[in-house]
């Protein structure tokens, strides 16, 4: 941590010198977000259920406000139970600030760097991040997804929102490039693996190799999966990379959480897996959030207060692996990802990845194709 502090002091001096002549290189941290206080829950839910990229609904404009109103009391209670709000904004800001401190040293030619939080459903919203960037005189920006694995419903939705603002002329004269996925990056894999190894220490040495590792990711409607969305494949690749780093010493499964509504979603569900393992007598388990970069409602409430609690009631020795939060290994990883991206784009590489250029084979969303073309031209 002392290294980070020293880098931070050097970065401040560098930024003071460079910022007088140009605006910062913006690193825009794209994520879903979460209500920081209980009174923000309703608006968060309204935006979430209004987004057809995330949750496609018939008669969306009519149903979204009704569903949000009906679910608000239940979700307000959940946020109250985890301390009165989501910590995702706190951790995203910490990660972004420390990443940019490292970036100033790793990529001095593009310094100074400044992170901007752009949440899709909670403040600061995308348009608020853009307003701050324009006030800072930003002319170069990276849209950096904080979802390690790509889905049209998550990263795609955030990129679509940026594109819509750009189409209306609200982004100003900013040159854009995109980091759209990084779920098998060695630094990310190492950070997740280290947290698992730390959690394994809670079990007796003679039983550690038999502990079941349950990797849990946010589920996805099967309607999205079946049109060719790559999310399930990419989450699976992350799990395989982590298990390889761990030497494949433990039995494991990939399971899915946070299903909403009666339609078919990717399974099996995390709760059902916990119950099934208890029934089979496999009662030593670690729950591992594999698709989240920080704590929020799905780790602090769903995993901790629902599934771990239920596991204990079923007689299980069950623990949850820590989220990445302030992990210096993870922060170094995202700094390395951004630095490599800046180096490649500065050397003439495309502004978007080959993978981002490919639409899902079953895609019928014209905005998706327009967004991909727009970013490939640097936001022009």
Tens of pLDDT, residue by residue over 100-130, are 999 999 999 999 999 999 999 999 999 999 9
| pLDDT at res. 309 | 98
Between CA 65 and CA 141 the distance in angstroms is: 34
What are the DSSP E strand ranges found in 3-136? 25-31, 113-119
Tens of pLDDT, residue by residue over 54-93, are 988 899 999 999 999 999 999 999 999 999 999 999 999 9
What are the DSSP E strand ranges found in 240-371? 252-257, 284-289, 317-320
Between CA 361 and CA 1 the distance in angstroms is: 45
Asked if 333 and 191 count as a contact pair (C-beta separation under 8 A), the reply is yes
Q: In what order do the strands lie in the sheet with 140-145?
A: 113-119, 25-31, 140-145, 175-179
Q: Name which residue leads in pLDDT, 165 or 3.
A: 165
Tens of pLDDT, residue by residue over 209-266, are 999 999 999 999 999 999 999 999 999 999 999 999 999 999 999 999 999 888 899 9
User: Rounded to two decimals, what is the model's pTM?
Assistant: 0.93
Give 181: exposed, middle or buried? Use CB within 10 Å, 0-12, 13-18, 19+: buried
Is 104 a residue of the active site?
no
| pLDDT at res. 261 | 81
| pLDDT at res. 187 | 99
Between CA 280 and CA 277 the distance in angstroms is: 5
Same fold, 2-182+328-376 and 186-320: yes
Catalytic residue, candidates 53, 104, 295, 336 = 336
Is 185 a residue of the active site?
yes
Task: Please report, rounded to a whole number, the percentage of residues in the chain having pLDDT higher than 90.
Answer: 92
Instruction: Select from 3.40.50.1400, 3.30.360.10, 3.30.70.270, 3.30.2040.10 the CATH code of 186-320.
Output: 3.40.50.1400
Q: Tokens standing for 59?
A: 């008669």
State residue 86 phi and psi, 5-degree precision: -85, 140
Mean pLDDT of 180-184: 99
Helix (H, G, I), strand (E, B) or coil at 143: strand
Assigned architecture for domain 2-182+328-376: 3-Layer(aba) Sandwich (3.40)
Residue spans of the domains in the chain: they are 2-182+328-376, 186-320
Catalytic residue, candidates 185, 296, 319, 341 = 185
């Amino acid at each position: 941590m002392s290294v980070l502090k020293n880098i931070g002091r050097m970065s401040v001096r560098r930024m003071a010198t460079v910022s007088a002549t140009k605006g910062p290189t913006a690193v825009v941290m794209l994520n879903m977000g979460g209500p920081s206080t209980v009174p923000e829950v309703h608006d968060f839910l309204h935006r979430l259920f209004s987004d057809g990229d995330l949750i496609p609904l018939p008669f969306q404009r009519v149903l979204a406000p009704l569903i949000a109103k009906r679910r608000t009391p239940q979700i307000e209670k959940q946020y109250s139970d985890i301390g009165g709000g989501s910590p995702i904004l706190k951790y995203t800001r910490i990660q972004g600030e420390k990443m940019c401190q490292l970036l100033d040293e790793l990529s001095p030619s593009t310094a100074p760097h400044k992170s901007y939080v752009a949440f899709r459903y909670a403040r600061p919203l995308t348009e608020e991040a853009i307003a701050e960037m324009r006030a800072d005189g930003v002319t170069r920006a990276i849209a950096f997804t904080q979802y390690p694995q790509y889905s049209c419903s998550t990263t795609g939705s955030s990129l679509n929102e940026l594109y819509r603002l750009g189409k209306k002329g609200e982004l100003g004269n900013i040159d854009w490039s995109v980091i759209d996925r990084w779920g098998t990056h060695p630094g990310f894999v190492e950070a997740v693996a280290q947290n698992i190894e730390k959690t394994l220490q809670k079990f007796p040495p003679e039983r550690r190799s038999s502990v079941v590792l349950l990797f849990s990711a946010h589920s996805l409607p099967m309607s999205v999966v079946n049109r060719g969305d790559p999310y399930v494949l990419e989450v699976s690749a992350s799990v395989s990379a982590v298990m390889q780093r761990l030497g494949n010493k433990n039995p494991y499964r990939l399971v899915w959480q946070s299903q909403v509504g009666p339609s078919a979603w990717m399974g099996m569900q995390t709760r059902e897996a916990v119950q099934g393992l208890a029934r089979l007598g496999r009662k030593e388990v670690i729950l591992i959030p594999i698709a989240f970069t920080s704590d929020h409602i799905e780790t602090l409430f769903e995993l901790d207060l629902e599934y771990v609690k239920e596991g204990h009631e079923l007689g299980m020795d069950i623990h949850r692996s820590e989220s990445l939060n302030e992990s210096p290994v993870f922060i170094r990883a995202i700094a390395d990802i951004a630095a490599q991206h800046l180096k490649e784009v500065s050397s003439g590489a495309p502004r978007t990845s080959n993978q981002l250029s490919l639409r899902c084979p079953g895609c019928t969303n014209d905005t998706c194709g327009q967004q991909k073309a727009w970013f490939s031209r640097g936001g022009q």
